[in-house]
Structure 1
Amino acid sequence: MNETEHGTRPDSPHAYRHFETLAIHAGQPADAQTGAVVTPIYQVSTYKQDGVGGLRGGYEYSRSANPTRSALEESLAALESGRRGLAFASGLAAEDCLLRTLLKPGDHVVIPNDAYGGTFRLFAKVVERWGVRWSVADTSDPRAVREALRPETRVLWVETPSNPLLGISDIEALAGVAREAGVRLVVDNTFASPYLQQPLQLGADVVVHSTTKYMGGHSDVVGGALVTSDAGLGEELAYHQNAMGAVAGPFDAWLVMRGAKTLAVRMDRHCENATRVAEMLAGHPKVSQVYYPGLAEHPGHEVAAKQMKAFGGMVSFRVRGGEEAAVAVCDRAELFTLGESLGGVESLIEHPGRMTHASAAGSPLEVPADLVRVSVGIEAADDLLADLRQALG
């Protein structure tokens, strides 16, 4: 991907061509009233109207719109090269809004064979009760995806890199499959972030984010986002966002904007550190397999190199000795904090089978019992390597 074209589109209101500049300035001009260079937190629920139906600045009630959230939503759209961005109270709230906008009872969705446990739970335990059917496909194989599509399929759902096995799906190829079938391609871009990957430019219809992760970047906010280049779909999503109400609060929106300003520099460090961690693990005698798309032996390495700027900060690996050995590694880690979530400046370690992906147990998305997942932070790489070596024993 040409970095100088990252984050721009022909009708963009932003004159900036580089992602790093967009991240700091898009949607965030100096405050007109005070000159404040940081968007204020509009901690307000309602707004004075200039007569009945006369909205001052277009705001009436903060569930419908709030100036701080509006700034974040414009920034999100710019960073993902989209037309419309929408900010939610969590990543799952964003997913729920999207699914209820796109689907009705009797529709069908193809989901990946490796995905976030919360996403799987939403499909299997919530949306299915509403009459929406789903089936699983290996989204790294466009032929398998094509075979999984049905006449009633309306959505193809993709995570790339996937959670927790770091699988890679060819977004451009899957966009072609989706167009041929007349279905919407949704890409969860949480693991990559818009700095590393631009799904809309590769043909996706909608991008999903848990902004809790790399967008926020400091483990201090929970949020979600949707971005699309389809103006009509953007209006539909905004209608449902308001009607359903799971919106990002102004302080949470402000925190995500603050995090986004440093996304590029943080991701560079995350990627550098993760590469060193993956290479060390690949040569460790107590590790049987490493999942990281930056390794040449990863089956999705070439596709990842084609569609990503770098390979991300997430690494998963399998430990010789089975489940108890994997749990012991998590327990012995000291600098890597045992905890769920990912994408913060601090490094985290977890056992997916017992933690983030427990809801997928017994399903086609069940993860290996000996799997450990690490979110590699931006600490000194040598310290991270030393901690993992001692945790492995």
Structure 2
Amino acid sequence: MTETQTPHSGAQTVEGLGFNTRAVHAGQEPDPVTGAVVGGIIQSSTFAQDGIGQLRNGYEYGRGGNPTRDSLQAQLAAVEHGKHAFSFSSGLAAEDAVIRALLRPGGHIVMGNDVYGGSYRLINRVLGPWGVEHSTADMSSLESIEAAARPETALFWVETPSNPMMKITDIAALADLAHSRGAKLLVDNTFASPYLQNPLDLGADIVVHSTTKYIGGHSDVIGGAVVMRDDALAEKIGFVQFAVGAVSGPMDAFLTTRGLKTLGLRMDRHCSNAQQIAQWLDGHSGVERVLYPGLAHHPGHELAARQMRGFGGMISVQFTGTVARSGAEVARAVAESTQLFTLAESLGGIESLMNYPSEMTHASVKGTELAVPENLIRLSVGIEDVADLVADLDRALGSALR
């Protein structure tokens, strides 16, 4: 790829079609030679040229472009209602590229006070020494966000729902605030997925995903994505991706494409199961608090109902203590004794997972203002039969409270 070559960014869209149709068809054309309905995995590091500088369909070197990756990028752009999408080797690689494209030493980010621990580690410990500064805020409160902003704030960084405290941010209102200050709004849409929420439609400038999670959906691939509409922004991010090289490989792109085609079907089941489990937990005497936007008493319930099409498959739960055990000890006991909920990092797969964030996904923020309560566990509710999942939790919680 030359310095002047435009990166392949999946600009293809499927206008006027529904989500599931876009997910199945965007970027997916039958093979022109064999007619294969499922696109091939182009496992090639380089591409033949018909002459010096005469590229076939723009392909030169795998870091700059690959047909399998381009198919996924077209698919991602279509389901997020974007114009450009870039597929990365991980969600954190995608986040890193955005920051390096938009900020310079002295630049400032406002992000949530319960942001994913990996994002905080990247911004604080990797990019902080480079000169990128940050402040944290309660991203469910515009007043808190404004108080954290500075004249040099270039980027507002939000997860909604947030990980793991399940806070909901008014994307449209925050977009207005960011733009009034000459800044950009980035939304990490991993928890909601593009099936439930499209931040670009609400005014966000950039959407990022860990495609490892709901988009891939089968716990068998690592990846990330960045989606946007702005051409100049896409050129900057595309250049950073090409220059640094954190692209998804052909097999990873293929697996992610495979997963994305069934995202809508899976999310319907994730949402249905999570709603029923949240309601069951909400009435349990051993539970202190259930954090799930589908519950009417959740402080972000009405806002989530307006800007999302469903409430998602993620639930966080805080436990009360007993005479013999603290709430934190109950949480650990539950996390270590379920049979169907697997104790593991990550989320968004077809199987149910359980996580103890204080020592797992958010260990990097332990001891800081972003520390997760020790009596909290996070559930990634899968697509199993919900009665079996409730019975599993009932057994584990009953044992932990004895």
**Match of 1:114, as an amino acid?**
D
Aligned to 2:257, the other structure's residue is in SS state helix
Please tell me whether the aligned partners of residues 352 and 367 of structure 1 are also in contact (alpha carbons under 8 angstroms): yes
Rate the CA distance shift 1:15–1:35 in 2: closer, same or farther, 3 A: farther
**Match of 1:245, as an amino acid?**
G
Please tell me whether the aligned partners of residues 293 and 301 of structure 1 are also in contact (alpha carbons under 8 angstroms): yes
Displacement of 1:175 in angstroms is 0.5
What is the number of equivalent residue pairs in this alignment? 383
Within 1, Cα distance between the matches of 2:105 and 2:397? 48
- Measured on the aligned residues, the alpha-carbon RMSD in Å equals 1.0
1:8 maps to what in 2? Answer: none
Please tell me whether the aligned partners of residues 13 and 74 of structure 2 are also in contact (alpha carbons under 8 angstroms): no
Q: Within 5 Å, which residues of 2 pair with 1:176-325? A: 176-321=176-321, 322-325=327-330
Greater shift in the superposed pair: 147-156 or 213-222 = 147-156
Aligned to 2:94, the other structure's residue is in SS state helix
Q: Deviations over 1:88-116 (max 9, x none)?
A: 00000000111100110011100111111
Displacement of 1:26 in angstroms is 0.3
Q: Could you state the TM-score of these two structures normalised by the residue count of structure 2?
A: 0.94
2:383 maps to what in 1? Answer: 378
1:40 maps to what in 2? Answer: 40
The correspondence for 2:365, drawn from 353, 360, 369, is 360
Within 2, Cα distance between the matches of 1:16 and 1:334? 44
Aligned to 2:213, the other structure's residue is in SS state coil
Q: Could you state the TM-score of these two structures normalised by the residue count of structure 1?
A: 0.96
Within 2, Cα distance between the matches of 1:235 and 1:69? 17
Rate the CA distance shift 1:60–1:170 in 2: closer, same or farther, 3 A: same
Q: Gapped runs of 5+ residues in structure 1?
A: 1-10
Within 1, Cα distance between the matches of 2:73 and 2:235? 13
Displacement of 1:12 in angstroms is 7.0
Please tell me whether the aligned partners of residues 46 and 61 of structure 2 are also in contact (alpha carbons under 8 angstroms): yes
**Match of 1:282, as an amino acid?**
D
Q: Deviations over 1:107-166 (max 9, x none)?
A: 110011111110011111111010111000111111221222111110000000000111
2:339 maps to what in 1? Answer: 334
1:92 maps to what in 2? Answer: 92
The correspondence for 2:393, drawn from 381, 388, 391, is 388
Please tell me whether the aligned partners of residues 16 and 22 of structure 1 are also in contact (alpha carbons under 8 angstroms): no
Within 1, Cα distance between the matches of 2:172 and 2:306? 10
Within 2, Cα distance between the matches of 1:274 and 1:148? 33
1:103 maps to what in 2? Answer: 103
Within 1, Cα distance between the matches of 2:115 and 2:103? 20
Displacement of 1:319 in angstroms is 1.1
Q: Deviations over 1:338-374 (max 9, x none)?
A: 1010000000001100110000111121110000100
Aligned to 2:55, the other structure's residue is in SS state coil
Aligned to 2:58, the other structure's residue is in SS state coil
Displacement of 1:33 in angstroms is 1.7
**Match of 2:178, as an amino acid?**
A
Displacement of 1:307 in angstroms is 0.2
Displacement of 1:299 in angstroms is 0.2
Displacement of 1:293 in angstroms is 0.2
2:170 maps to what in 1? Answer: 170
Q: Deviations over 1:222-281 (max 9, x none)?
A: 000000011110111111100000100000000000000000000000000000010000
1:351 maps to 2:356: yes
Percent of matched pairs sharing the same residue: 57
1:157 maps to what in 2? Answer: 157
Displacement of 1:36 in angstroms is 1.0
Displacement of 1:14 in angstroms is 2.0
4+ long deviations beyond 4 Å: none
Please tell me whether the aligned partners of residues 13 and 78 of structure 2 are also in contact (alpha carbons under 8 angstroms): no
**Match of 1:343, as an amino acid?**
G
Q: Deviations over 1:55-85 (max 9, x none)?
A: 0111000010000000101110111000100
